[in-house]
Every structure is written in C-alpha cells, then in structure tokens.
Amino acid sequence: MLPWILARAGGIVAYLLLAGAMAAGLMVRSRTRVLGLTPGQLVAAHGQLSLLALVAVGVHGASLVADTFVDVSPLALVVPGLVPYRAFWTALGVIGMELLLIVQVTSRIRGHIGVRAWRRLHMLAYGAFALATVHGITAGTDTGRPWVLAMYASAVGIIAALTTWRVARAPRRSTRRRQARKDGVVGPATATHGGPGV
C-alpha cells in the first residue's frame, strides 16, 4: 500500500516541480523581480526545481517497481511499452522522463556542446512537459479528482501564457540588441540562460 501511495504522490510532485522549473526558466529574462526573485535567483530556482523533478520521477518509478498492484520491472522504467497497465500512456511517461533526463544532462555539459546545440536540446523540455501532462491525465489513477484536473489545467495554462509572453517579447529584444550593436553600445550578444524549462 505504501509504495502505491508513494508512486502516486511522486508522480504528482514531479509534475508540479517540472511545471515550476519551466515557469522559472521562462521568467528568467523578465529583467525585473518576479515573485520577489531576481533573474539570477530565478535561474537558481529553475535549476533546483529541475533537479528535484528528476528526483521525484525517480521516487515515482522506484515505487511502481516496489508495488505489487502493477507488474513494473526496472527495465520498464527505461524501455517504453513494457508496463502492462495502460501500456501506451505509460510509455509516454517513460519517453517524457527520458527527454527530461536529456535536458538535464545537456544543461550540465553546455560548455562542451555549445550554446546553440544546448538551446535546441533545451526545447525538449516542452516535449517532456507535454508528455508528462498526457501521461498523468491518462494513466494517473487520481485524474478523476477535481483538484488533480485543476492542477493539470492550471499548469498548462501558466506555461502556455508564459510561453506566449516570452515569444511576444523576443522581437523587441532582438530589435533593441541590433540597434545597440549598430550604435556601438554593445558587442555580439553573449549567451545567457534562455531555455523554456529544465
């Protein structure tokens, strides 16, 4: 019974941490305090939330292996489709976890792979978030609870709104940067953290 409770709680906590990490990442370039946090503090929060999300995913997976309600092998945590319970939807969760891991690892080796490659790989955070959302709604046993549905709807709404805000600001930033370069105020743009999520 305890492993099943931990599995459910771990999945929900992991989802909330992932949503929080993405929100923090999207707000980094606000250049102003957000919720009392400076951009630098948002970067730190983004990194910590991302790492904690992976830890919670680990608790979620390990608890499923330990539980007897569904036969989940350790291999099924890394190979999509091996979980017999709602196989397709649980496979999406496995793929989402792997995308999250890729984002986390490539962020650690950003200096070795280059900023351009890192930025492209960082966009996989959106895929991880989308897959986690679908996985949670379709495979989660608590989906029928109103507060759980409200959680998913709120998280998706917040990430969608922040992404729209970020995209809307991008042309203005590019225009200001080009003008500053033209005026000789700044040199080539330096790489800063700008990923959407993890």
In a domain, 192, yes or no: no
In a domain, 84, yes or no: yes
CA-wise closest residue to 198 among 58, 47, 97: 47
Min mean pLDDT across 53-62, 149-158, 184-193 is at 184-193
Residue 184 tokens read as: 């000789």
**pLDDT recorded at residue 179:** 56
- What is the end-to-end Cα distance of the chain in Å, rounded? 32
Three-state secondary structure string covering the chain = CHHHHHHHHHHHHHHHHHHHHHHHHHHHHHCCCECCECHHHHHHHHHHHHHHHHHHHHHHHHHHHHCCCCCCCHHHHCCCCCCCCCHHHHHHHHHHHHHHHHHHHHHHCHHHHCHHHHHHHHCHHHHHHHHHHHHHHHHCCCCCCHHHHHHHHHHHHHHHHHHHHHHHHHHHHHHHHHHHHHCCCCCCCCCCCCCCCC
In a domain, 190, yes or no: no
pLDDT digits (tens, 9 = 90+) for 54-98: 999 999 999 999 998 888 999 999 999 999 999 999 999 999 999
**pLDDT recorded at residue 197:** 58
In a domain, 193, yes or no: no
Does pLDDT of 155 surpass 90?
yes
Does pLDDT of 110 surpass 60?
yes
As a whole number of Å, the CA-based R_g of the chain is: 19
Does pLDDT of 104 surpass 70?
yes
Min mean pLDDT across 59-63, 109-113, 185-189 is at 185-189
In a domain, 101, yes or no: yes
**pLDDT recorded at residue 191:** 42
- Domain around 171: 2-182
Rounded mean pLDDT, 21-41: 84
Does pLDDT of 177 surpass 80?
no
Domain count of the fold of the chain: 1
CA-wise closest residue to 193 among 119, 120, 125, 112: 119
pLDDT band for position 39 (50/70/90)?
A: confident
In a domain, 194, yes or no: no
CA 162/CA 170 separation, integer angstroms: 12
In a domain, 154, yes or no: yes
**pLDDT recorded at residue 173:** 58
In a domain, 105, yes or no: yes
Min mean pLDDT across 12-16, 63-67, 165-169 is at 165-169
Min mean pLDDT across 98-102, 151-155, 167-171 is at 167-171
